[in-house]
Amino acid sequence: MGMTQHESQTAPPIVYPRMEQSASTALIYKGLGNDGWRDTYHALLTMPVAAFIGVMAGAFLAVNLLFATLYHLDPTGLAGARPGSFADDFFFSVQTLGTLGYGAIAPRSLYANLLVTVEIFVGLFQLAIATGLMFARVSRPTARIMFSDVAVVTDFDGCPTLMFRAANRRRNRIVEAEVSVSVVMDQVSSEGHRMRSFRDLAVMRPRTPLFILSWQVMHRIDEASPLHGHTAQSLAAQFAEIIVVMRGLDETFSSTIHARASYAPHEIIWNRRLKDIFSRDETGRRVIDFTHFHAVE
């Protein structure tokens, strides 16, 4: 299924993003509206931790600046505050929002007492939102599965076989683990239309009841394989990419986890094999050496 002369002439070069890249950075969208603030919850859950802490700190500062400005409108509303001191107004707002109540500054006027009531109400919501977001971020089930940096194509039982391996970094059990492998590549129809095509790659062992240490995933490149007849050059010419998705039930958290990886043509090494990572020590116990996990020979 290599590219024909007709395809190479009609299909201009296209650079496709890696499938495991973030959708927000891998593509340029046109004609799709931005949900903006309506999807803030998703943005807060998926942004980096440093950015999340920055947003929370910024929101806390903004709320206190707002209420400090409102307190400042009543110069005599706070007993114990220096007249006209915005700093006293600001730090009183911080104490009120945090329900500290040091007692050095207290509301005196009706306006200030009403404002304190509103601020405490807002503070309860802000604390609940921040707590809920933090809990949602840390409680999401995550996988600690690593994949070999490269895949190889080598003979196995007399047939060219695509191989790569995965390992569970947590050293616990993943129950009913499953792996699915696909290849996505360019295809050109007889009318000359280019499209991206997904084809499943059947693996020799798609499921394991217990995934604890290492799992070598293998796909036989026989006549039924979508990779049959391909070379490294033909895969690169068709912008091919091997997509791997692994899922299972984490026994510790009793929740479903998943992990993904992909291999571009330059990450598939032909006529080499993955270095063996299993051996035995002097007592006969099995040893797994992850220092050779990504090595080929």
8 Å CB contact between 241 and 19: yes
- Regarding the domain with residue range 142-292, which homologous superfamily does it belong to in the CATH classification? G protein-activated inward rectifier potassium channel 1 (2.60.40.1400)
8 Å CB contact between 224 and 41: no
Domain borders along the chain are: 36-139, 142-292
Say which DSSP state 35 is in: -
Asked if 36-139 and 142-292 have one fold, the answer is no
Q: Which of 190, 277, 211 lies closest to 10 in space, CA to CA? A: 190
The predicted pLDDT at position 286 comes to: 83
CA distance 271 to 152: 7
Q: What is the pLDDT of residues 102-128, one digit of tens each?
A: 888 999 999 999 999 999 999 999 999
Please name the residues in contact with 254: beta carbons below 8 A apart, sequence gap of 6 or more: none
The predicted pLDDT at position 171 comes to: 77
8 Å CB contact between 230 and 186: no
Residue with tokens 């700093």: 87
- Is the per-residue pLDDT at 203 higher than 50? yes
Q: Interior CA angle at 140 toward 138 and 143, to 5°?
A: 105
The architecture that CATH gives domain 36-139 is: Orthogonal Bundle (1.10)
The predicted pLDDT at position 179 comes to: 96
The predicted pLDDT at position 9 comes to: 43
Residue by residue, DSSP assigns 194-213 as EEEEEEEE--S--EEEEE-S
User: How long, in residues, is the chain?
Assistant: 297
Q: What is the pLDDT of residues 171-184, one digit of tens each?
A: 788 999 999 999 99
- Is the per-residue pLDDT at 6 higher than 60? no
How far does the chain reach from its first CA to its final CA, in angstroms? 29
- Is the per-residue pLDDT at 167 higher than 60? yes
Q: What is the pLDDT of residues 31-80, one digit of tens each?
A: 656 666 667 888 888 888 899 999 999 999 999 999 999 999 998 899 99
- Is the per-residue pLDDT at 26 higher than 80? no
**What sections of the chain are H helices per DSSP?**
5-10, 23-26, 40-46, 49-72, 86-97, 110-139, 232-237
Q: What is the pLDDT of residues 275-292, one digit of tens each?
A: 998 888 888 888 888 889
Strand-pair category, 286-288 with 151-156: unpaired
- Is the per-residue pLDDT at 1 higher than 70? no
The one-letter amino acid code at 58 reads G
| 271 Cα distance to chain centroid | 32
The predicted pLDDT at position 3 comes to: 40
